[in-house]
A and B are shown apart, each in its own frame.
Chain A
Amino acid sequence: MPAVALQGVRRSFGDVVALDGVDLSVEQGDFVALIGPSGCGKSTLLRIIAGLDAGEGQVAVDRSSIAYVFQDAHLLPWRTVADNVALPLELRGVPDRGAVARALADVELTDAADRYPAQLSGGMRMRASIARALVTEPRLLLMDEPFAALDEITRNRLDERLRALWASRGLTVLFVTHAIFEATFLAERAIVMSKRPARILYDARIELGERTSAVRGEPAFAHEAGKILAALERGSE
C-alpha cells in the first residue's frame, strides 16, 4: 500500500482554482520533492495530505504517523528547545523524555536543549523544528519549504542531515520546494508542478548515487537538475 494516494484532487478558493485533478501516489520509504513556482498550489497539496485542508477527490493517507514541518520554525517562544520538541508527545498524552533526547541528538541540538528559541540562530531553530517533527517517530514526513529562509551554506548542511535521517530512519518524505538544486540533492523522485491551477508536468526518478556534499559538483547532478529546470520552464510558458 502506498504511503500517499491521491486521485482527482481539486481545491478552489472562491474563483481561484489552486489544484485541478491531481493524481499522485507515493511509495513507502520514498523521498519525493514537489517542485513548482511560488503560489502554484504545492503547499495546498501538502496541507490536504496532512488533513489541514479539505479538497475534493480521493485522498488516502495513513495519518496515524504523520509529521509536518512548516516554512519557518514556528516554535513556542515561551518554551525551551527541549519543551518545544516534547510538545507533540504531550499533546498526544505520551510524554517521553528519552524520545526528546534522541530527537535532539538526531539534529545535534543536545547542547541547546535548555535554551529559548530567541537565543538560537535561524538554522538551529529549524533543526529544533525538525526534532519536534521527528519526536513522534513518524513514518510520513511532510515538509513545506522548510529551509527557504536560510542561507545557502546552512541550507546545504541541513539538506545533508535530512538525507541521512531519511536513510537511517526509513521515513517517507514529501518535500515541497522551489529550489531545483535542493530538490536534486535530496530526493529520489522529482515531481514538477505547473502554475495555478497546479497539474503535474514531470515525474521522474533522480538517478544519482551516494548523496555526499561532493555529488553537487558532478556532471550527473547538473544533468538531473537540468531536466527539472527544463520541465519548470515548460510549465511557466
Chain B
Amino acid sequence: MRRTILPPLLAGASGLLLWEGAVRVLKPAAYLLPPPSTIARAAVADSGTLASACLTTGTSALAGFAFSAVLGVAIAVFLSTSRWIERAFHPYAILLQTVPIVAIAPLLVLWFGVGGRAVTASAFIVSVFPVITNTLAGIRSVDPALRDLFRLYGASRGAVLFRLELPWATLSIATGLRVASGLAVIGAIVGEFVAGFSEGNPGLGIVVMTSYRQLRTDLLFGAVGCSALLGMVLFGLVSGGAHLLLRRWHIAAS
C-alpha cells in the first residue's frame, strides 16, 4: 500500500511546491496562473458552491452512466444476435463515438430542454460506446465448444445468453464500464457548457463557465480539480463494484 501511495503523493506535493515557488518568483497576473495556495483558499471559501456543483454534475453523470450500462449491454446483445444485424447497425454505433458531443449538444437541448435531462443524455452518448464494443467483443469471444455444448443439450436462447454469453463477457463488460465511468463525467460537463443553465443548482460545467467570464481563475482551477476528483470517484466506485462482482472470476483466473 505504502509503495503505491507514497510515490504519487511525493510527486504531486513537489509539483505543487514548484508551481507555488515559480508563481511567487515570476509573479504572473492572477487571472493567468494563480498559485495553489490561492486556489485552495478560493476552493475553501466557495466550498458550498463547489460541493453542490459536484452533486449536480455527479447526479447527471451517474444517471448517464447507468443508462450506458443498461442500454449499452442491451444494444450489444442485440447486435450479437446475428452477423447480419451487427454488420447493419455497427457503423451507426461507431457514429455515436465519432460525432463530436459539442456539435450535437444543442440538439439535445432542443429535444430534452435545458437542464439535467439534456446533460444526462450528453453523458450517455459519450459513455455508451465503450460499453457496446467491449460487451460485443466479450460475447464474440465465447468458447465455440461451449456454444456446441449448449446446443447439444437444446439450450434456449435465454439460457445461452444468461448462463453462457453474459457470464463469459463479464470481464469485458467490466472493462467497458470502467472506461464509460470516466467518460460520463466528461460528457456531463461538456453537456453543461451548452445545456446546463437552468433553475436549480449549477453543475461544475457552469461553475467553470461563470468563473471564466468573471476571470476568477482560482475558482476555475478549483472546479477543474473537482471535475477530475468526480471522475476518479466514479471510476473508483465502478472498479470496486466490478472487483466485488468478479471475485469469483478472479478465483477462477488465478
Interface residue? B252 (CB, 8 A): yes
CB-CB under 8 A from B152, the residues of chain A are 50-52, 66-68
Interface residue? A117 (CB, 8 A): yes
Interface residue? A181 (CB, 8 A): no
CB-CB under 8 A from A76, the residues of chain B are 146, 163-164, 167
Interface residue? B248 (CB, 8 A): yes
Contact in complex: A77, B253 (CB < 8 Å): yes
The tally of CB-CB contacts under 8 A between chains A and B is 57
The CA of A119 and the CA of B253, in the complex, are separated in Å by 9
For B211-253 the 0/1 string (1 means CB < 8 A from A) is 0000000000000000000000000000000000000110111
Interface residue? A116 (CB, 8 A): yes
- For residue B4, give the distance in angstroms from its CB to the closest CB of chain A: 26
- For residue B146, give the distance in angstroms from its CB to the closest CB of chain A: 6
CB-CB under 8 A from B154, the residues of chain A are 91-92
If A91-B155, A92-B153 touch, whether A68 touches B148 (CB-CB below 8 Å) is yes
Interface residue? A88 (CB, 8 A): yes
- For residue B171, give the distance in angstroms from its CB to the closest CB of chain A: 10
Contact in complex: B150, A91 (CB < 8 Å): yes
If A76-B167, A91-B154, A91-B159 touch, whether A118 touches B252 (CB-CB below 8 Å) is yes
Which A61-90 residues have C-beta < 8 A from chain B? Answer: 66-68, 70, 72, 74, 76-78, 87-88, 90
Interface residue? B6 (CB, 8 A): no
Which range contains the number of B residues in contact with the other chain?
Answer: 20 to 34
Which A105-148 residues have C-beta < 8 A from chain B? Answer: 116-119, 136
Interface residue? B145 (CB, 8 A): yes
Contact in complex: A78, B252 (CB < 8 Å): yes
Which range contains the number of A residues in contact with the other chain?
Answer: 20 to 34
Contact in complex: A74, B153 (CB < 8 Å): no
Contact in complex: B146, A74 (CB < 8 Å): yes
CB-CB under 8 A from A117, the residues of chain B are 252
Interface residue? B149 (CB, 8 A): yes
Contact in complex: A52, B151 (CB < 8 Å): yes
Interface residue? B254 (CB, 8 A): yes
CB-CB under 8 A from B148, the residues of chain A are 47, 50, 52, 68, 70
Q: Which of B145, B153, B251, B253 has the most CB of A within 10 A?
A: B153
If A78-B167, A88-B153, A92-B153 touch, whether A119 touches B251 (CB-CB below 8 Å) is yes
If A77-B253, A118-B252 touch, whether A91 touches B153 (CB-CB below 8 Å) is yes
Which B180-201 residues have C-beta < 8 A from chain A? Answer: none
CB within 8 A of A77: which of B149, B151, B159, B249? B249
Contact in complex: A118, B251 (CB < 8 Å): yes
- For residue A71, give the distance in angstroms from its CB to the closest CB of chain B: 8
CB-CB under 8 A from B46, the residues of chain A are none
Q: Which residue of A lies closest to B246 (CB)?
A: A78
For B136-158 the 0/1 string (1 means CB < 8 A from A) is 00000001011011111111000
Provide 25 A-B residue pairs closer than 8 Å at the C-beta atoms, listed in order of the A residue: A52-B148, A52-B151, A66-B152, A68-B152, A70-B149, A72-B145, A74-B149, A76-B146, A76-B163, A77-B253, A78-B170, A78-B248, A78-B252, A87-B163, A88-B149, A90-B163, A91-B154, A91-B155, A92-B154, A116-B248, A116-B251, A116-B252, A118-B252, A118-B254, A136-B153
A90-B159, A118-B251, A118-B252 provided; 4 other pairs, C-beta below 8 A? A70-B149, A74-B146, A78-B252, A118-B253
Q: Which residues on B are within 8 Å of A, measured CB to CB? A: 143, 145-146, 148-155, 159, 163-164, 167, 170, 248-249, 251-254
Please provide the 5 A-B residue pairs with the shortest distance between their CB atoms, ordered closest to farther: A77-B252, A91-B153, A74-B145, A91-B155, A118-B252
